[in-house]
Amino acid sequence: MDQLIVKGGYPLHGNVRISGAKNSGLPILIASLLSEYPLRVSNIPHLQDVTTALDLLGRLGAKVELDESMTVEVNARRVTNFRATYEIVETMRASILVLGPLLARFGQAQVSMPGGCAIGSRPIGLHIAGLKALGAKFDMEDGYIQATAHKLHGAHIFMDVVSVTGTENLMMAATLAKGTTVIENAAQEPEVVDLADCLNGMGACIEGAGTSKIIIDGVDELHGHSHTIIADRIEAGTYLVAGAATGGDVRVRDVQPENLVAVLEKLNDSGAHISTGRDWVQLNMNGRRPKSVNVRTAPFPGFPTDMQAQVLMLNSIASGTGSITETIFENRFQHVQELQRMGANIAMNGSTAFVTGVDGLKGARVTATDLRASACLALAGLVATSQTVIQKIHHIDRGYNCIEEKLSQLGAHITRVHDSGTTASFSSLYEAV
Ligand code: UD1
């Protein structure tokens, strides 16, 4: 398995283009199942999860074409299979998103129950309860959710917990339901808005995306459309934290700064000078040591749980003590033990980590446990003395488009090494999709 080798101590300088958002790209690609006409999606990130989503669509019978500029065209006219298998769902939990579209257009879907997850139990009860309210029937057989429906109908749904993919699944299903659906306590994430924009472009009738109440008037069919997905705000936030941690000066390009407000506020509190333009954010730390910040994760517009590990790492070398409270996932602190092995001073109390900054981290061999934890370890390597080796980096490839190339572009000393000891080239890292 590949490893990342990082030699710390080099402040990051320069600018980096941010890729399309993974969490927009996945639901939007899957939304192609709602129409018999082609959906063209541009700014698709080059990620393992995207490969998995395209593989899933292909297995269902959709025709998938990808061009050099990372534009994907999915034609789901002929869908011959309605089953998302265990091997796919196990590698990508977002596969659950096929449930709503398949039920709405074909009246049937079988999706493997997602198993355990590194960051917590991640139930799907809200997806199922919402789809039941829309008229679907559910059974369970051999570890598979068996869902059927004659014709979905509109319903008034209150979601007990704010769920991003839960909201997306129901929103997609409701586009083809008969009548009006209201989703209350809906997720307000920018990726939900991006999906709604794409669905409206396909002829859906959705209002209120980006607020806690989404209203969907069902239509008879959706048509073809071309959509460009928004930038990945978590990738952008990760490079900005890398700039802050190394005392550097980093500009992220092709982003929507309005989607980064909660993260920018914390970076500002940490002592960074932040400026923004229409589609860029510049962070300048002027060689200063960051100050500790207090963070509590929350659904959008709150501080994203997907940035928790990175900001915890920032606190680990900052001046003072900061608290990091995780409110979304129960087991999302696996990076703490690895950071402690690098010399971080972190005391856990339930779902809060109290982090007292140390003067410097020490390089070590560490193991990535999930996507964002592995990004946090790569950033820790940038500020550590000597060399850090990060193992099991397949997690990082699920969500970061060529992280070592982009960090190198900013002046980091980071290399990917194959098991055999050879340095990997970009083109060999990913299978063609
Ligand atoms: C999405 C994102 C993920 C992000 C997370 C929270 C995608 C593909 N993934 O994941 O990167 O970390 O939002 O911002 O968009 N819950 C229930 N019942 C359910 C569903 C969820 O109780 O049926 C709970 C979860 O346990 C969790 C909370 O709701 O505590 C939020 O989870 P959710 O928003 O559903 O996460 P995902 O959509 O899986």
Q: Work out the burial of residue 381: count CB atoms within 10 Å of its CB; fewer than 13 is exposed, 13-18 middle, 19 or more buried.
A: buried
Whether a cis peptide bond, with omega within 30° of 0, leads into 301 is yes
Report whether pLDDT(103) > 90.
yes
Whole-number percent of the chain with pLDDT over 70: 95
Q: Ligand 1, residues 165, 170, 171, 398: which to mutate, most atoms within 8 A of Cβ?
A: 165
pLDDT score of 428 more than 90: no
Q: Are 308 and 326 in contact (CB under 8 A)?
A: yes
Whether residue 125 has its Cβ less than 6 Å from ligand 1? yes
CB-ligand 1 contact for 331 (6 Å cutoff): no
Residue 166 CB less than 6 A away from ligand 1: yes
Active site residue 205: no
Q: Which of left, alpha, beta for 14 (phi over 0: left; psi -120 to 50: alpha)? A: left
Overall average pLDDT of the 330-350 stretch:
94
The predicted model gives 250-259 an average pLDDT of 98
Would you mind telling me the total number of residues written for the chain in this entry?
433
Residue with CA closest to ligand 1 atom 3: 306
Closest among 155, 54, 176, 43 to 103, alpha carbons compared: 176
Q: Kindly give the distance from the C-alpha atom of residue 68 to the centroid of ligand 1, in angstroms, as a whole number.
A: 32
Mean pLDDT value across residues 278-305: 97
Atom of ligand 1 nearest to the CA of 94: 8
pLDDT of residue 431: 31
Enter the DSSP assignment of 306.
Answer: G
Average pLDDT rounded to a whole number, residues 245-260: 98
Q: Is 47 in the pocket of ligand 1 (CB under 6 A)?
A: no
Q: Which ranges constitute the DSSP H helices of 158-299?
A: 164-175, 190-201, 233-245, 261-269
H or E element that contains 182: strand 180-184
* Separation of CA 165 and ligand 1 centre (Å): 6
pLDDT of the residue at 121: 63
Q: Quick check: 117 pLDDT over 80?
A: no
Instruction: State whether the beta carbon of 169 lies less than 6 angstroms from ligand 1.
Output: no
- Ligand 1 pocket member 402 (CB < 6 A): no
Q: How confident is the model at residue 369 (pLDDT cuts 50, 70, 90)?
A: confident
* Ligand 1 close to Cβ of residue 26 (< 6 A): yes
- pLDDT at res. 422: 52
Residue nearest atom 15 of ligand 1, based on CA coordinates: 23
Protein residue with its CA nearest to atom 12 in ligand 1 = 306
Ligand 1 pocket, 28 CB below 6 A? Answer: no
- Please compute the mean of the pLDDT values over residues 149-168 and round it to a whole number: 97
- Answer yes or no: is the C-beta of 233 below 6 A from any ligand 1 atom: no
Q: Which of 205-209, 220-224, 368-372 has the lowest mean pLDDT?
A: 368-372
pLDDT at 209 over 90: yes
Token pair for residue 158? 């209150």
Q: How far is the CA of 343 from the centre of ligand 1 (A)?
A: 31
Catalytic residue selected from 117, 198, 376, 402:
117
Nearest CA to ligand 1 atom 35: 163
Q: What is the mean pLDDT of residues 76-102?
A: 95
Q: Which ligand 1 atom is nearest residue 304's CA? A: 14
Give the Cβ contact number of residue 241 at 10 Å. 28
Do the bridges between strand 361-362 and strand 384-385 make them parallel or antiparallel, or are there none, so unpaired?
parallel
Q: What is the mean pLDDT of residues 196-201?
A: 98
Tokens representing residue 427 in the block:
């083109």
**Tokens matching residue 100:** 């709503």
Question: Which residue bears the tokens 């820790």?
Answer: 380
- Residue 218 Cα to ligand 1 midpoint, Å, equals 25
More confident residue, 420 or 30: 30
Q: Ligand 1 centroid vs 97 CA: distance in angstroms?
A: 12
Lowest mean pLDDT among 11-15, 304-308, 369-373, 413-417: 369-373
DSSP string across 264-286: HHHHHHTT-EEEE-SSEEEEE-T
User: Measured from the CB, is residue 328 less than 6 Å from ligand 1?
Assistant: yes
Distance 414 CA to ligand 1 centre (A): 32
Which residues, other chains included, contact 39 with Cβ-Cβ below 8 Å and sequence gap of 6+?
Answer: 28, 29, 31, 32, 73, 74, 75, 76, 198, 202, 224, 225, 226, 227
Per-residue model confidence (pLDDT) at position 1: 77
Where would I find the H helices in 384-425?
394-397, 403-409
Which tokens sit at 233? 């705000």
State the pTM of this model.
Answer: 0.95
Span 90-117, average pLDDT: 90
Question: Does the C-beta of 161 come closer than 6 Å to ligand 1?
Answer: yes
Q: What is the pLDDT of residues 61-77, one digit of tens each?
A: 999 999 888 899 999 99
The stretch 240-263 carries a mean pLDDT of 98
- The rounded Å distance from CA 299 to ligand 1 centre is 9
Mean pLDDT within 112-121: 67
Whether the pLDDT of residue 358 is over 90: the answer is: yes
Nearest-CA residue for ligand 1 atom 5 is 164
Average pLDDT, the chain: 93
Provide the residue type at 184 as one letter. E
Amino acid 430: pLDDT? 31
Ligand 1 atom with least separation from CA of 330: 30
